[in-house]
Structure 1
């Protein structure tokens, strides 16, 4: 099941809601990973917006739940705006801050809200002859900061969204490649027995540093050209 909530909105349209949460990553004494809060917001917004856009939705707004501190609000918004800029969109930002009590660890929630036309929803549209690949490497924690060259860039994600050869895209989260692949198959009424990939199948994908794609075999050359060294085939046994 995809990590997007769909609600009836208007004739032929649905409201789409996606979210991401981050904790113990930031600039507070108790944080496990030390990084500026604008980077935290950038990656959390990346997850929520990639989830939203990958199902065919048009993003409309971002909501922040700031449990860090009131004086971090502008930095958080700056991180979200960077995400939007790399995706080629401009969104209003609203939210709330815990300003009554100090916290010793950073925590942030990001919700992305959008709309999707029923006929444009990109779920369960992968045909049997499709091939699969992972774009980018699954990374988490300090590895995300240490190896930015292994992270699938957002402009590349936008290119894949627009590619006529790509059927479905699923951002890879904390449950790893294999879990997301099984979710994609289930959405298409299929079952896989085994798969192999040069990447670890069960490692956390952290803040969606990689994406699982199903695609038309005839378009493989172009997709490989777009992704370059970030293209990793997923070999499937049926």
Structure 2
């Protein structure tokens, strides 16, 4: 994602978000996600319902913003489909994730759909805007000797729904639990660029180096719609983390100076 430029107001991060200083006390965080060729249309390559597409696309954008300690205040959806039935189905999926995040009634939702041209392939884009106190922004908090832990198994395309049914992927409930833990330092969703990319993001933001123990084939695999979340924790907190989250948990490495 290319960051906008607010003169002297952009807070630097390697994450796939933009962070803008509103004033000396507050920041605005912007995250987004998109999907194409995934949905119920004749030319879609991956067949899923509009409801499922809305759920997962909203989940990614919400996770990106929530993971840095921001509270989402607005979600925009730009849907390249007709309102009825596909657009309305996608909206129901979006609403279900908003409810799961506990934001129903407090999050403004606006959007647009295609009302003129017949559509044969699904396209969707979602942007989430959040606000956070500047001194509570959770970026670059990892420490030397922290463990890098993967919550959920990286899944993509046709793997995602079966993995969800087996309870193998991370979701918003997991992320919110992690954000509420004092022993968790950094939290970052993993998307299409894989765990290795997000480890490098965490390393850059914290000014640390990472030593990985998982095979490259695992760390480079796409995690699709944020099916995995990376967290950094002290070594003595691993057991507590394992007891908190009822999803697969794997230590993939650690940080050092």
Sort the TM-score into its range (normalised by shorter chain).
Answer: over 0.9
Q: Deviations over 1:198-218 (max 9, x none)?
A: 781111010000101011222
Q: Deviations over 1:44-84 (max 9, x none)?
A: 00000000000110110110000021213322221111112
CA contact (8 A) 1:16 1:113 kept: yes
Whole-angstrom CA distance in 2 between matches of 1:11 and 1:75: 41
2:43 maps to what in 1?
Answer: 30
Whole-angstrom CA distance in 2 between matches of 1:173 and 1:23: 15
Whole-angstrom CA distance in 1 between matches of 2:110 and 2:246: 37
1:6 maps to what in 2?
Answer: 19
Q: Which runs of 5+ in 2 are unaligned?
A: 1-13
- Aligned pairs for 1:211-222 (under 5 A) are 211-222=229-240
Q: Which runs of 5+ in 1 are unaligned?
A: none
Larger CA deviation: 2-11 vs 134-143: 2-11
- Aligned pairs for 1:82-97 (under 5 A) are 82-90=96-104, 91-97=107-113
Choose which of 120, 128, 135 in structure 2 pairs with 1:112. Answer: 128
Q: Deviations over 1:94-113 (max 9, x none)?
A: 01112222222101001111
Moved segments of 4+, more than 3 Å: none
1:121 maps to what in 2?
Answer: 137
TM-score of the aligned structures, taking structure 1 as reference length? 0.94
Larger CA deviation: 180-189 vs 145-154: 145-154
Q: Deviations over 1:105-148 (max 9, x none)?
A: 10100111111111111111111131110000111111001221
CA contact (8 A) 1:64 1:95 kept: yes
CA RMSD between the two structures = 1.6
Choose which of 22, 42, 47 in structure 1 pairs with 2:55. Answer: 42
2:78 maps to what in 1?
Answer: 65
Residue 229 of structure 1: how far off its partner (Å): 4.7
- Aligned pairs for 1:1-238 (under 5 A) are 1-71=14-84, 72-90=86-104, 91-148=107-164, 149-192=167-210, 194-197=211-214, 200-236=218-254
User: How many aligned positions are there?
Assistant: 237
Whole-angstrom CA distance in 2 between matches of 1:14 and 1:81: 25
CA contact (8 A) 2:208 2:255 kept: no
